[in-house]
Amino acid sequence: MIKYSKNQRTLYFAIGFTLAFFFYITFILGHVSSCFTLDVGANSLGLSFSYTEDIVQNFFESRTQEQLLCYSQFLQIWDAIFAIIYTLMYASWIMYFFKNNRIFLAIPILGMISDWAENYVELLMIKAYLNSSPISEILVSLGSGINSIKWVLSSLTYLIILVGIIIILKNFLTKPKLH
């Protein structure tokens, strides 16, 4: 029986979740988002660093009610699943690079939670818009702020992983050669 070290298993998980991440983007997200995407303009509020009332209003006004309902379903189901997948991918890589520093796992987990919170606020804004109610400035500010936090956490996650890659490469390149 072959025994794998814990770090080898973590590497396999990281590779597996990375493949799942790319497959999900390629085969799922593109397909399920096609019902609300437009040829011109932003196709998701969450892909910008922040947004204003005008941006939200224009985003909603440029779509039909059916497209907004589809976008709501996307936020509730498909984007929530995507957050789990990318968090598992990032967490696996962080665990692989930083075996004893699990505190770094808090960053991608908080990023996932902020993604979900932002989606919830977007759903509240869509509901208000579809009910012909004005979109609350407070909701827009809250959603935009959470969105910015999500992107800061995402950037920190990338930085942590980049540092891990640099450390692995440095250790590999400076490892004493056996003669």
Q: Of 3-12, 116-125, 137-146, 161-170, which gets the smallest average pLDDT? A: 3-12
- Check residue 1 and give its pLDDT: 45
Work out the burial of residue 21: count CB atoms within 10 Å of its CB; fewer than 13 is exposed, 13-18 middle, 19 or more buried.
middle
With bands split at pLDDT 50, 70 and 90, how would you rate the model's confidence at 6? confident
Mean pLDDT of 125-148: 94
CB atoms inside a 10 Å sphere around CB 99: 11
Does residue 2 have a pLDDT over 90?
A: no
Give the mean model confidence (pLDDT) for residues 59-80: 95
Mean pLDDT of 167-174: 90
Asked if the model's pLDDT at residue 55 lies above 80, the reply is: yes
Whether 3 shows a pLDDT value over 60: the answer reads: no
CA-nearest of 153, 165, 68 to 114 is: 153
* DSSP string for residues in 98-147: -TT-GGGGHHHHHHHHHHHHHHHHHHHHHHHHHTTPPPPHHHHHHHHHHH
The length of the chain in residues reads 179
SS3 content of the chain, % helix, strand, coil (to 5): 75, 0, 25
> What are the extents of the domains in the chain?
7-18+48-172
**What is the token pair recorded at 34?**
């096609």
Q: Is the pLDDT of residue 161 over 60?
A: yes
Would you state the pLDDT for residue 177? 73
pLDDT tens digits, one per residue of 120-134 = 999 999 999 999 988
Q: How confident is the model at residue 4 (pLDDT cuts 50, 70, 90)?
A: low
Decide if pLDDT at 42 tops 90.
Answer: no
Least confident of 19-33, 38-52, 67-81, 104-118: 38-52
Contacts of 125-134 spanning 24+ positions with Cβ under 8 A: 125/56, 125/60, 126/60, 126/68, 126/71, 126/72, 129/60, 129/68, 130/65, 130/68, 130/69
Give the predicted TM-score (pTM) of the model.
Answer: 0.89
Is residue 12 scored above 90 in pLDDT? yes
Band (pLDDT 50/70/90 cuts) for residue 176 is confident
Supply 50's token pair.
């922040």
Determine how many CB atoms are found less than 10 A away from the CB of residue 67: 15
The DSSP H or E segment spanning 11 is helix 6-23
